[in-house]
Amino acid sequence: MSVGVSKHEHVLPYFLGLIENLRYPKDRIRVSFYLTKNPPEPEDQAEVLIKKWVQEVTKHYLSVSLELTSSDQNWKETALQWSRRKSCSHAFITTADHFLMENSLRKLIALDKVVVSPLLNAPFGNYSNVHGVLDDDYVYRVEMESIRIYFLYGPYLINLKHKDASYLTFDSDNLRNYNGRQDPIYIFAFSAYSMQIPIFVDNKFFYGYFLDSTYYSHNYHKKLLSYFLSNLVSEFGTISFPHSSYIEPSYPPPSRFGFDKIYLINLKRRPERLRRMELVFKLLGIDYTLFEAVDGKHLAPEELEEIEFMPGYQDPYYKRPMKKGEIGCFLSHYRIWEDVVKNSYSRVIVFEDDVRFMENSTIELNEMVEDLMKMRTEWDFIYLGRKKMSPHGDEFFEPGHRYLSTVGYSYWTLGYALSLNGASKLIHADPLSRLLAIDEFLPIMYDKHPNKEWASYFPSRNLLAYAVYPVVVVPERYTHQPGYVSDTEDSFVFEETFDRGENEKETISSTLHYKDEF
Ligand SMILES: *[C@@H]1O[C@H](CO)[C@@H](O)[C@H](O)[C@H]1NC(C)=O
Ligand SMILES: *[C@@H]1O[C@H](CO)[C@@H](O)[C@H](O)[C@H]1NC(C)=O
């Protein structure tokens, strides 16, 4: 196995962990690293890590080595020739931005081709290591097969025991009549094509991931890795593959993105969500403060006394009054608004604990703040994630901003930025004395709520609200996905222990109706 490494120190803990985890006898594997480094350059972090790893694992493998190559050197050809000299049965030539799952090498070898590459999916969307070569259906594995292709970006599994394999090369000096691009991957494709050696790619199995580092800056690639890993945590509850036993991953320094505080709301009886969000924040470099949610299932009598419902309020879809979870949710946010005012925080962010961060989310937060400063925009509230409830075409980008947009009627409170002014306005509106769902309250406060009767309970509707495009966070799972549990939506309808009597009959019947439905 030959691995090209250059400035890949951030992916190495994971890449090496996956190598350690491969289900293939280690004492039959030779590993050689090729690190691109021009002579006067000092030792970089990737070199330090590889040297450490080599030292730790040498005893387990047939051999492990590190070779320093200059940038004009053709390391792929060097690797191929080295594998031939060592009489390896197969050469696997890869770079450290390809993440292979534990059975991938065995499965590829079992395909018994002269040259084969695994389909590797990039995080977020349609990109892959066959981008531009094969179409989306192949990438999404709608069709599952080994396909013959004429050009391959890598990684390469080459069966050196096959007689045809001796014609393969990455070096144009070994070819007659080559006048194409001097890029080893084009030369390799030509050597295969001219000797009629088929190159295959296979997607019958999930082989792993591809975090392409060719097109991105080193800095962005680090971020891409963190978006990718945090997305895995949101998806599976944990990073779904191991990191190296010898090389610890590193994390970005935690930031508040220019905010005074970033709150994470978590119910004490949901510790698994807290653990997941802790890891997500660690991966993304978000400096947060835990804020214990008000538990709607165990509301204290003092808390209930504070509250009066808005007369006649019903959830517009389920036609039912508020559920305990929704009351808890409202109170949790309300307590944070109080905390903001009490401490005079000039701006904060609030996240609920079941959110998934989108690609580029932390970059967007930074740049959103830059734009707010530069444009001196006055703002109270910014949705970082939401469900748009109004028709298309009623929202517009703010001039001078890269992400900020005006906002129409919207739902959800999974993530938002709030200014001190915003927090005061929300508290002064005194929502606890005419309570309705927080999803409805906020649009009323920025005066985009379609229900004018509800709105009339809040005469001062001047919250300066915005949203960002694209959203920074989405729900970790949408309600139709398996594994979805929401504390607000799935709790029981609030029953009549403290309703004011008048609507009692109606409330009870709608409660029953609701329970029947589900
Ligand atoms: C990704 O693939 C889907 C499904 O084939 C397609 O609808 C979508 O347009 C593709 N997106 C891009 C950015 O190519
Ligand atoms: C994220 O940022 C990178 C680098 O600027 C860009 O190439 C990519 O298209 C962005 N992705 C999205 C979904 O905006």
Identify the residue whose C-alpha is closest to ligand 2 atom 4.
Answer: 220
Distance 429 CA to ligand 1 centre (A): 45
> What is the predicted pLDDT for the residue at 89?
96
Query: What is the tens place of the pLDDT at every residue in 358-377?
Result: 999 999 999 999 999 999 99
Residue 360 alpha carbon to ligand 2 centre in Å: 6
pLDDT for 488 equals 54
- The domain ranges of the chain are 2-228, 261-507
pTM: 0.88
Is 516 a residue whose pLDDT tops 60? no
Residues 6+ apart with CB under 8 A from 300: none
Q: Which of 467, 463, 482, 370 is nearest to 412 (CA)?
A: 467
Max CA pair span of the chain: 93
**Of 74, 69, 67, 108, nearest in space to 91 by CA:** 108
| Residue list, ligand 2 pocket, CB within 6 Å | 220, 359-360
- Say if residues 351 and 383 touch (Cβ distance below 8 Å): no
Select the CATH number that applies to the domain covering 261-507 from these four: 3.80.10, 3.40.50, 2.60.120, 3.90.550: 3.90.550
Residue nearest to atom 6 of ligand 1 (CA): 136
Q: Closest Cα to atom 7, ligand 2: which residue? A: 216
How many CB atoms within 10 Å of residue 89? Answer: 11
The answer to whether residue 418 scores a pLDDT higher than 90 is yes
8-state DSSP, 27? G
Q: Which residue among 356, 357, 360 has the greatest number of ligand 2 atoms within 8 angstroms of its CB, and so is best to mutate?
A: 360
Q: Is the CB of 136 under 6 A from ligand 1?
A: yes
**Rounded distance between C-alpha atoms, residue 152 and residue 148, angstroms:** 10
Ligand 1 geometric centre to CA of 402 (Å): 24
The number of the ligand 2 atom at minimal distance from the alpha carbon of 360 is 1
Q: Using pLDDT thresholds of 50, 70 and 90, give the confidence band for residue 461.
A: very high
Report the amino acid identity of residue 327: I
Q: How far apart (Å, rounded) are the C-alpha atoms in residues 324 and 495?
A: 8
Q: Which whole-number Å values give the CA distances from 257 to 254, 369, 370, 469, in the listed order?
A: 9, 7, 10, 18
Closest residue by Cα to atom 6, ligand 2, is 360
CB contact at 8 A, 264 and 281 = yes
pLDDT tens-place string over residues 187-228: 999 999 999 999 999 999 999 999 998 888 889 999 999 999
At the topology level, CATH places domain 2-228 in: Spore Coat Polysaccharide Biosynthesis Protein SpsA; Chain A (3.90.550)
pLDDT at 500 over 50: no
Average pLDDT, the chain: 89
In ligand 2, which atom is closest to the CA atom of 215?
Answer: 7
With cut-offs at 50, 70 and 90, classify the pLDDT of residue 167: very high
Separation of CA 135 and ligand 1 centre (Å): 9
Q: How many CA atoms lie within 13 A of 343 on its CB side?
A: 12
Any atom of ligand 1 within 6 Å of the Cβ of 135: no
Return the percentage of the chain with pLDDT > 90, whole number: 76
Residue 499: pLDDT above 80? Answer: no
Higher pLDDT, 118 or 42: 118
CA 24 distance to own-chain centroid: 30
Quote the CA–CA distance of 105 and 237 in Å, as a whole number.
Answer: 26
Per-residue pLDDT, averaged over 52-81, amounts to 93
Q: Which atom of ligand 1 is nearest to the CA of 125?
A: 1
Decide if pLDDT at 501 tops 70: no
Residue nearest to atom 10 of ligand 2 (CA): 360
Per-residue pLDDT, 481: 53
Q: Is 373 helix (H, G, I), strand (E, B) or coil?
A: helix
- Do the domains at 2-228 and 261-507 have one common CATH topology? yes
What does 117-141 look like in DSSP terms, one character per residue? EE--BPSSSS-BTTTTTS-HHHHTT
Atom of ligand 2 at shortest range from CA of 359? 13
Nearest atom in ligand 2 to 125's CA? 13
Which has the higher per-residue pLDDT, 489 or 292?
292
Q: Please state the atom number of ligand 1 nearest to the C-alpha of residue 137.
A: 5
Q: How far is the CA of 223 from the centre of ligand 2 (A)?
A: 11
- Does position 510 have pLDDT exceeding 70, yes or no? no
| 391 secondary structure, DSSP code | P
Q: Closest residue (by CA) to atom 11 of ligand 1? A: 126
For residue 451, the number of C-alpha atoms closer than 13 Å in the C-beta half-sphere is 18
